[in-house]
Amino acid sequence: MIKALYTSITGMNATQNALSVTSNNIANAQTVGYKKQKAMFDDLLYNNSIGAKGDGKYAGTNPKSIGNGVKMSGTVTDYSDGTITLTGGKTQAAMEGNGFFVVGDSKGGNMEFTRKGTFGISSDYYITNTEGQYVFAYPANEATGEVDLSGIPGPLQIPMGTAIGGIRTSKGTIKGNIPTGEKQITQDLPVYDNAGNTWTMRVEFKQTSEHNYTYKVQMRNDSKKETEFKDVPGAGGNMTFDAVGNPNPKEQGANIPFDGGSIKLDLSHLTNHPTDKTLSVTDVDGRAAATVKDCLIADGGYVMVKYSDGSMKSAGQLAVAMFPNEGGLMKTGNGNYTATNTTGILALGTSGQNGAGKVRGGAQEGANVDLSVEFVDLMLYQRGFQGNAKVIKVSDEVLNEVVNLIR
């Protein structure tokens, strides 16, 4: 009976620990990126008697084994995806498939790994998580926005407020129809100088005879809030159309002197038909000066910076960690994991690399907890605990009967 008491105690301890695992799953059913765990059990050491081999006269006997109870041998973490919800949060991200985001300290050390993509921007414009750890990423070339994957990822600082210089306009096209009989018509093009100032270039067409026009070019500095256009010396020419209204010769245009260079003005897409005016502007290059005003995490884990002129460019790409044995990761709280001796060699890359899943920008991954399964497990463990408690009660009653035999 004493043995039965202690065996039942092991059962109560094991089911109590399993109840803790299940209750933790239920408690974290709304936790971003949480991965549910399952309690695992093993039977304890047995008391064995050796069996006997038959001697020809009598049959042999089988060995006898009496167990000493049960223990919770450990937990298994289920790394299957939780439900991914598009939140629209600019600095939120979710892993779809295998892989973990990488966080750590300001020096790029003390790496931990997480599926919790609730990120933000610190006071000094680094991407951080809710615990203040730095989110690791591969940096991009400041000029081109091309991500450099050759180095080791680390903290990524957003160049908030950083200015980019303007790029001078070098080309522009006017296309559409100049109605026959229209004596004078103008078309404006937005252009930029080397300093990033915004100008308006006006092209004015005047009819000299049927299908024949002259044109001149004027400029206005909008950045200086000028209100009047000024003629560009030496800029202009003749525009000739054939009898059906197509450019003749086909290649029409001019190089317009501007800010130490020239703008190639293409007029070869104009027509001269007896229909309405349909002039429009295309293929104008160049860019105004701008500053970084905002950032967001896009699909693929790209960290995009947004400039004051509305343009966007990559500042980096979030690092993604992969392990041969995810089961070897150890939970440390706050949605983080650390590597152990059993996880295998860490592989760092980006979204879609090394078998990693895809990073979804503006999204969050919910917990993969199924409450219906957890409540069933809760009832089973509760019944197991009650059953072991019942065995203790029965064993106690039997012991009382034994004690009463000597009264």
Radius of gyration of the chain (CA): 38
Query: Where does 242-328 show beta strands of DSSP type E?
Result: 253-258, 261-271, 280-282, 290-297, 302-307, 312-318, 320-322
Across the chain, what does the average pLDDT equal? 92
Stretch 183-204: mean pLDDT:
94
Q: Which of the 8 DSSP states describes residue 128?
A: E
With a pLDDT cut of 90, the percent of the chain lying above it is 74
CATH number of 171-282: 2.60.98.20
Give 6 or 215, the one with higher predicted confidence: 215
For residues 228-249, average pLDDT: 92
Q: pLDDT tens digits for 265-281? A: 999 999 999 999 999 99
Is the preceding omega at residue 249 within 30 degrees of 0, hence cis?
yes
> What does the pLDDT read at residue 49?
67
Calpha distance 282→268 (Å, rounded): 12
Q: What is the pLDDT of residues 101-145, one digit of tens each?
A: 999 999 999 999 999 999 999 999 999 999 999 999 999 998 788
The string of pLDDT tens digits covering residues 51-81 is 667 777 777 777 777 778 888 999 999 999 9
Q: Are 191 and 286 in contact (CB under 8 A)?
A: yes
Q: In the chain, where are the structural domains located?
A: 2-46+67-79+368-404, 84-163+292-365, 171-282
DSSP letter (8 states) at residue 396: H
pLDDT confidence of residue 261:
93
Token match 């065996």: residue? Answer: 7
**Mind listing the pLDDT tens digit for each residue in 288-322?**
888 999 999 999 999 999 998 888 999 999 999 99
- State pTM to two decimals: 0.74
Residue with the bigger pLDDT between 251 and 282: it is 282
Q: Which two tokens stand for residue 243?
A: 């009898």
pLDDT at residue 245 greater than cutoff 90: yes
Summarize the chain as % helix, strand, coil (round to 5): 15, 45, 40
Q: Which of 82-91, 131-140, 246-255, 392-401 has the least mean pLDDT?
A: 392-401
pLDDT at 1: 61
